[in-house]
Amino acid sequence: MLWLPGGAAAAIKTGQSPDCERFCMSVEPRQGPEGSVFRIMGRGWRPSRRVEIVYGVYCRPGQACVAIAYLAHLRTNSRGGFSFRVRAGQAQTGDDDRKVASGSGFTFSQWRGKPNDSRLVQRRPRYQVILPQ
């Protein structure tokens, strides 16, 4: 949740609406079993600029998990696009070499102008992890 002055709260946007024009996100596949690798793609972000990604350890819904935050960075291409791969499950051998981040609750952020002197745009893409029965 993002807290606003006056106690009003607004959820972080996903950027996944079909008519999105700026700071857009898409995820492939849209759903998969636990342990799947999802490709999160951004488009319409500020070109050739840094994007910060904050996420936590992988945690199944309803489980109590340790509150550790991980931080990653990437740079958008000259058209404002990027790709980031995530595993919905425990890290596997070779994930670091394949540039796959294991975790959950991924939030992508980029400043609209100068850092700390402009608006910070945040997006939290949605995808569904199918748990074994």
Q: What is the pLDDT of residues 64-117, one digit of tens each?
A: 888 889 999 999 999 999 999 999 999 999 999 999 999 999 999 999 998 888
Domain span at 67: 29-112
Instruction: Look at residue 133 in the predicted model and tell me its pLDDT.
Output: 79
Instruction: Look at residue 10 in the predicted model and tell me its pLDDT.
Output: 57
Whether 117 is in a domain gets the answer no
Whether 74 is in a domain gets the answer yes
Instruction: Look at residue 122 in the predicted model and tell me its pLDDT.
Output: 96
Q: What is the pLDDT of residues 12-34, one digit of tens each?
A: 777 788 888 999 999 999 999 99
Residues 27-42 have a mean pLDDT of 95
Whether 6 is in a domain gets the answer no
Please state whether 99 falls in left (phi above 0), alpha (psi between -120 and 50) or beta: left
Q: Is the pLDDT of residue 53 over 70?
A: yes
Instruction: Look at residue 8 in the predicted model and tell me its pLDDT.
Output: 45
Q: Residue 54 is inside which H or E element, if any?
A: strand 50-56
Cα distance between residue 35 and residue 37, in whole Å? 7
Which long-range CB contacts under 8 A does 19-28 form with residues at least 24 apart?
A: 20/44, 23/110, 23/121, 23/123, 25/108, 25/123, 25/125, 26/125, 27/125, 27/126, 27/127
Whether 15 is in a domain gets the answer no
Q: Which amino acid is at 39?
A: R
Q: How many domains does the chain have?
A: 1
Cα distance between residue 34 and residue 79, in whole Å? 33
Which pTM value belongs to this model?
A: 0.85
Whether 76 is in a domain gets the answer yes
| Angle value at C-alpha 32, between 45 and 41, nearest 5 degrees | 10
Instruction: Look at residue 64 in the predicted model and tell me its pLDDT.
Output: 81
By C-alpha distance, which of 88, 95, 32 is closest to 60?
88
Whether 10 is in a domain gets the answer no
